[in-house]
Each structure stands twice: as structure tokens, then as C-alpha cells.
Chain A
Amino acid sequence: QKEVEQNSGPLSVPEGAIASLNCTYSDRGSQSFFWYRQYSGKSPELIMFIYSNGDKEDGRFTAQLNKASQYVSLLIRDSQPSDSATYLCAVTVNTGNQFYFGTGTSLTVIP
């Protein structure tokens, strides 16, 4: 069983702060890592993906991958109320035919 674990939250941060979301995975063969944002009642939308150890930045978002410790994180700088959503972590192994999703972390940004 390939497990992806996320703290369900809720995580609350004030507007303008950095939100840090974490995800751990059990399969050392995991190769690709994705972060999705899901607003209440809506479908998930892709925010970031990362394949190699280290940091990857895209605007206010930074994904960090540490394969030795088997975790991937998402940092959101200058958090906005519009960032309030559930964030899903997903990983793939080998051919990537299946994606393994965590249960998500709920983030609330307080104005």
C-alpha cells in the first residue's frame, strides 16, 4: 500500500504570512510529486509539480522535495484570503500510471 500522509489541519495563517504545507510518502520509489488546490465544492487544480530534490519556485509558491527524508512541502508566501482551500499532495511511482493522493490539508488565510 502506497501511503501519502498530510496533516488534515485546519491550518490558519494571517494574511501576508508564509503558509507551510507538508506531505510525507511511504514508497521510496516515488518519482514525481504534485500539489493541487481544491476550493470547497470544486475540482482540484494543479499548482506545482517537482521531480528532483531541492526547491522549485513559481510566483508565490515554492515546492520543496527531500527524497532521503521522503517528504515534499509547499510554501505559500504572502498568503492571501483567496489561498484559503484544501491542498492535496499526490505522488507517482515508476511509470506514473497511478497517482496516490493524500487526504489534503485545509488552509485558512485570515484577513
Chain B
Amino acid sequence: DGGITQSPKYLFRKEGQNVTLSCEQNLNHDAMYWYRQDPGQGLRLIYYSQIVNDFQKGDIAEGYSVSREKKESFPLTVTSAQKNPTAFYLCASRSTQGLRNQPQHFGDGTRLSIL
């Protein structure tokens, strides 16, 4: 089945620790995105990538890092510099083909908490 797979579903971070959230898609989408959602809040963009080996900061990139070495994969690292990492993290992807802006599709998300 085609889709977007995020892992793990739940993740706990200790003080001073970096953690990496995985996002893999087999939809052949060029563009991939990472969002953070806090309880009762909307989606805030962390990073996005339109093509392999290229990515741009979103509105809240501080304390996060990404890589895009393969079209299918866009992992997000939450570094120790991110002092309030507890949130629901959502990965999305979309096709950039065609004349119209194609919709984003989301993975199931990763819940990150501080130990």
C-alpha cells in the first residue's frame, strides 16, 4: 500500500539527548514537510524539502535539524537545544507534478514527550 510511515509512534527524550523521528513515503512525492502540533493548536511548519539534498526552514526550525538524502526519506532530529519538545509531530508529503497545487498527505504522527 502506498503511504507515509512515521516511526516510532511514541518517543521519550531525556534531558540533553538528541532524538530522530523517521518519515518514509512510497508515493513518489517530491515534497516533504515536518509540522509540530501542540494541544489545541494548529500546525506549525518546522522544515520542508522540495527535492533531494535541499530543504528550507519553516517558522519554528530552531532546535531541529533534517536531512533529505533520498527521495523517500525525510528524518527529523530534535536536538537538545529544543527546550520544549513535547508535541505531536506530523510528516507530510505531496506531489509537485501538474498545473495545480497538489494536496499534502500526512503520516500517522509521532508523539514526543520529555522524561
- Which of A's residues lie within 8 Å of B, judged by CB? 31-32, 34, 42-46, 49, 51, 88, 90, 92, 95-99, 101-104
Tell me if B45 and A43 are in contact (CB < 8 A): no
Q: Let me know if B106 is at the binding interface, CB within 8 A.
A: yes
- Which of B's residues lie within 8 Å of A, judged by CB? 31, 33, 41-43, 45, 48, 50, 56, 58, 90, 96, 100-109
Residue of A nearest to B102 (CB): A96
Tell me if B50 and A97 are in contact (CB < 8 A): yes
Q: Is the interface of B mostly helix, strand, loop or mixed?
A: loop
Q: Which of B31, B33, B42, B48 contacts A103, CB < 8 Å?
A: B42
A60 to chain B, nearest CB (A): 19
Kindly state the separation between the CA atoms of A103 and B48 in the bound complex, as whole angstroms.
20
Q: Would you give 23 A-B contacts (Cβ < 8 Å), ordered by A?
A: A32-B100, A42-B108, A43-B90, A43-B107, A46-B104, A49-B103, A51-B100, A51-B101, A88-B42, A88-B43, A95-B101, A97-B31, A97-B48, A97-B50, A97-B56, A98-B45, A98-B48, A98-B58, A99-B33, A99-B45, A101-B42, A101-B43, A104-B42
